[in-house]
Amino acid sequence: MKDLKKLQKNLGVDFKDADLLKSALIHRSYLNENKNFPLDHNERLEFLGDAVLELITTEYLYNNFPNPEGELTNWRASLVNAKMLAEIAHSLEIEDYLHLSKGEAQDNNLKARNYILANALEALIGAIFLDKGLEEAKKFISRNILSKLPFILENQLYVDPKSKFQEKSQEIYNITPIYKVMEESGPDHNKFFKVGVYLNEEFVAAGTGSSKQEAQVAAADNALTEKGW
């Protein structure tokens, strides 16, 4: 296993129990290929870390903002979603320390890798909570996750792409966007959709996903970039 001193420096946490840190970095697939490995995979730690992250984020928003519940819920979702957590995990270089199966390690599916990274970050939060307690977990979350809130608010990242694109389309062109399925393939358990978003007859952008809704959101996100909104 890689020397974890640099990772602990990146995290700003010096673990008393190194096995907790190691477990947080072990994906289930690794144990399928290394059945005699002495530590468990990170799913139980992820389960714990997810709850700790939600509690600390919710408490912070509640204590610092008088906004209604609906707005705070959207802000929290934008802080703790898989995409944001994966970006934070990437910045902390967590990927360099993950234990994956050979197949998982060679998989270039960005969405799948981001999901693994987000889960690993939650597992690390769980490990920090068990090793150092709630206050240390709170410091880690404040430093690495809650610090993203000003950027999220300034850029309205808490507004989902479909709503934002519709709002801007109506404001600028007085047009409601239309979404059309351009491509659909795969068996029921592993569908692929490509959806285009149009302003009247003008094609703006396309997006892909494992459901029509996911592909529509991706299309709207790409359309916002295309229009510079």
Q: Which residues are known catalytic residues?
A: 50, 122
User: What is the rounded CA–CA span in Å between residue 109 and residue 118?
Assistant: 14
Q: Which residues pair with 99 in a beta bridge?
A: 26
Distances (CA, A) of 66 to 33, 72, 148, 155, 157: 50, 9, 19, 20, 19
**CA 75/CA 64 separation, integer angstroms:** 12
Spatial contact of 65 and 79, defined as CB atoms under 8 Å apart = no
